[in-house]
Structure 1
Amino acid sequence: MTAQDDQIPTPPEGFIRSSGRGAFSTHNGPYFHREHPGEFTEQAFFALPRHANGIGLVHGGMLTAFMDGLLANAQYRETRKTGVTIHLSVDFLHMARVGEWVMGEARCTRATKDIAFVEGRAYVGGHDVVRATGVFKLMHKKT
């Protein structure tokens, strides 16, 4: 546990710390998720100073990485196949600040044998911070 982990308050109700996300996401996090039956994937992170730009707003790169992982997780829940991002579109709508919980939800809207389409949003309180759509190439094991 690092000193920055001590700055993270108790996550929102039902959220638990995520693990097994790979080195990049583990370094950027920590991330949290809520086990949620149904079509939505829910994830969150607490905005630390290291997630921010020079004026204390959560960096667009952090929000983009969060959305990419969130959408990828929704794609996996739907298809049970590893996917790689082939297109990601991110619209920044509002600001998130250090000290806020950034919440996210996503769902797979369509999946074929080789491609999945996903949409999601990140929000703080009552306002959307980011909306994103993604297209994922589904990986198949070689026989």
Structure 2
Amino acid sequence: MAMQTTSDNTSGEPMMDINMTPLIDVMLVLLIMFIITIPIQTHAVKLDLPVDQPNTPPPPIDPVKNKVVITAGGQILWNGTPVQPEQLRQYLELSQQIQPIPELHLQPEPEARYELVDQVLAITKKAHVEKMGFVGNEAYMKF
């Protein structure tokens, strides 16, 4: 119940204001019912996953994996042997002609100069290397 205790109503006249409490109560109940009846939104991504068939032969496993290491001293190593950038590009172009194409593992040392790593990445792009991976990224993790 609403009660007015101001000095305006000294003559005992009835109040002409609407009691807002029941209106607010009804609105709150309706709001809660509306929230409860809203369906839960699910964020799902539909994917067509490949089905494993036991009769299909496994994909060919390539034993050749070429590794390019960029040292902190500024050397480029092709499978452990120091090479110049021109030799690296020739080796990469030759490796892309082998079927199946061997993987290229790029492993820059943590202290290697970014300029040299960028140069090697540009060489691999010009040689159209198709299968490439970065090896040793865990060395850059900071705990």
The TM-score by the shorter chain falls in which range? Answer: under 0.3
Structure with the bigger percentage of strand: 1
Task: State the TM-score, normalizing by the size of structure 1.
Answer: 0.23
**Structure index of larger Rg:** 2
Structure with the bigger percentage of helix: 2
